[in-house]
Amino acid sequence: MRLTEDALLGGRVRLRQPESGYRAAIDPVLLAAAVPARAGERVVELGIGAGAAALCLAMRVPGCEVVGVEKDPDTAALARDNAVLNGVATRLSVVEADVADAKRTLGRSGFDHAMMNPPYLEPGGSASPHARKDAATVESGGGLALWIDAALSLLRHKGSLTVIHRADRIEAVLAALAGKAGGIVVFPLWPKAGSAAKRILVQASKGIATPSRLAAGLVLHGPDGRYTEAAEAVLRGAASLEI
């Protein structure tokens, strides 16, 4: 597996990832910025991949602990190597397990927060010739509902779940959360002002019944195609997404 080394958070995170196939872009950075973790809290990420979101979160919140779940042994090893590369190996660990087995593998962990960037294509969707990219982007087995159920099973009461997904899958995300989590917030990520959202962040808390709401969201690009000031503050600085 040939690797490249890329920079996230304005160079504060170094990410070694496969040269071809699935590659992290801005989604994991936005996901990490939305997780309301604080020092001393524990976060689980399902499908950690090479570790982009987990590394960004560990760098943003120095006192938090992150546990990643990854079924591919080579990818899990890469995430561990990236944790060492960034000096956060004492706070970022990776277990090799399928999402369906996460609860059995981790036991009654009572995490404060869970986050995930799950496969976003339904079965039968456009597949990649790269097996790892296909596994990362196309749903299998129980699909999105299985991922959300697994995440909720690992959370303590009132723990938060943050998901980044395609905007056209909002119905599936909300259906998987129905009756299991409340305080649901949908946070659109607008490519530019006046355009339809292509990505959404969805955040909810386990076991509560607070009403749902639609947030203003974040406009990513200005008329000139460059990132907006607000987007730059999140992607390259230390700003959080207040969801």
CA dist., res. 33 & res. 31, Å (int): 5
In the block, which residue shows the tokens 């689980």?
44
Q: What is the pLDDT of residue 194?
A: 96
> Does the predicted model carry a pTM greater than 0.85?
yes
CA 241 distance to own-chain centroid: 13
Length of the chain equals 243
Kindly indicate the confidence band of residue 71, based on its pLDDT and cuts at 50, 70 and 90.
Answer: very high
Q: What is the pLDDT of residue 83?
A: 98
Kindly indicate the confidence band of residue 142, based on its pLDDT and cuts at 50, 70 and 90.
Answer: low
| Region 146-154 average pLDDT | 96
CA dist., res. 3 & res. 71, Å (int): 19
Q: CB of 99 within 8 A of CB of 147?
A: yes
Q: What is the pLDDT of residue 107?
A: 82
CA 236 distance to own-chain centroid: 17
| Region 110-125 average pLDDT | 84
pLDDT of 76 strictly over 70 = yes
pLDDT of 140 strictly over 60 = no
CA dist., res. 71 & res. 144, Å (int): 16
| Residue 53 main-chain phi, psi, to 5 deg | -65, -45
Domains in the chain (CATH in brackets) are 3-235 (3.40.50.150)
